C-alpha cells in the first residue's frame, strides 16, 4: 500500500503569494505617495537626494520582509519556499525597474538605488520567511515539550 499523495493547495498557495505581494506593494506605494504629498520627497520629475533614497530603500526592505512573512504565514506548506518565491519576484521586478529607469533622466541618476533593491530582494525574503519559520518551529517544539 502506498502513502496518499499530499493534496495540492494551489488556491491557498496563490492566495499566500498574492497577499504578500499586495501588502508589500500597497505599503510601498502608499508610503511613497504620502512622502510626496507631504513634501518629504520632491515631485516625481525631480532628483531625489541620496538621503531620501536611503530612506526609501529602508522602508522598501522592511515591507519586503513583511510581505514575505505574510506569504510564509499563509502558505499551506513549505513556508520558506513561498517567502523566497516573493524574493525572486522582487529580483525580477527590480531588474526590470533598473533596466527601464537606467539613464532615463536626472531623477534616475542614482544608479546605486535600483541596484541595491535588486541585491536586497532575496535577503529580505529570507528574513521574512525565517521570522515565520523560526517562530513557528519554536512554538511547535514548546507545544510538544509541554504535551508530555
Tens place of pLDDT for every residue, the chain, 148 residues? 555 545 568 899 999 999 999 999 999 999 999 999 999 999 988 999 999 999 999 999 999 999 999 999 999 999 999 999 999 999 999 999 999 999 988 888 899 999 999 999 999 999 999 999 997 655 444 444 444 4
Flag whether 2 is in a domain: no
Flag whether 17 is in a domain: yes
Flag whether 65 is in a domain: yes
Flag whether 41 is in a domain: yes
The distance from CA 76 to its chain's CA centroid, rounded to whole angstroms, is: 19
Flag whether 66 is in a domain: yes
What is the residue range of 105's domain? 12-146
Sort 95 into a burial class: Cβ within 10 Å, 0-12 / 13-18 / 19+.
Answer: middle
**What's the domain count of the chain?**
1
| Cβ neighbours of 99 (radius 10 Å) | 9
Taking the C-alpha atoms of residue 129 and residue 68, their distance in angstroms, rounded to an integer, is 6
Amino acid at each position: 500500500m502506498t502513502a496518499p499523495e499530499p493534496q495540492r493547495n494551489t488556491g491557498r498557495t496563490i492566495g499566500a503569494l498574492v497577499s504578500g505581494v499586495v501588502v508589500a506593494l500597497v505599503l510601498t506605494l502608499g508610503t511613497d505617495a504620502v512622502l510626496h504629498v507631504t513634501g518629504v520627497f520632491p515631485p516625481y520629475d525631480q532628483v531625489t537626494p541620496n538621503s531620501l533614497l536611503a530612506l526609501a530603500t529602508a522602508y522598501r526592505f522592511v515591507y519586503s520582509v513583511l510581505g514575505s512573512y505574510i506569504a510564509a504565514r499563509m502558505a499551506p506548506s513549505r513556508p520558506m519556499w513561498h517567502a523566497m518565491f516573493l524574493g525572486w519576484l522582487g529580483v525580477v521586478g527590480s531588474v526590470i525597474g533598473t533596466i527601464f529607469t537606467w539613464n532615463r533622466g536626472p531623477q534616475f541618476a542614482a544608479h546605486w538605488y535600483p541596484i541595491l533593491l535588486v541585491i536586497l530582494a532575496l535577503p529580505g525574503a529570507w528574513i521574512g520567511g525565517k521570522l515565520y519559520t523560526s517562530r513557528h518551529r519554536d512554538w511547535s517544539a514548546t507545544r510538544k515539550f509541554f504535551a508530555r
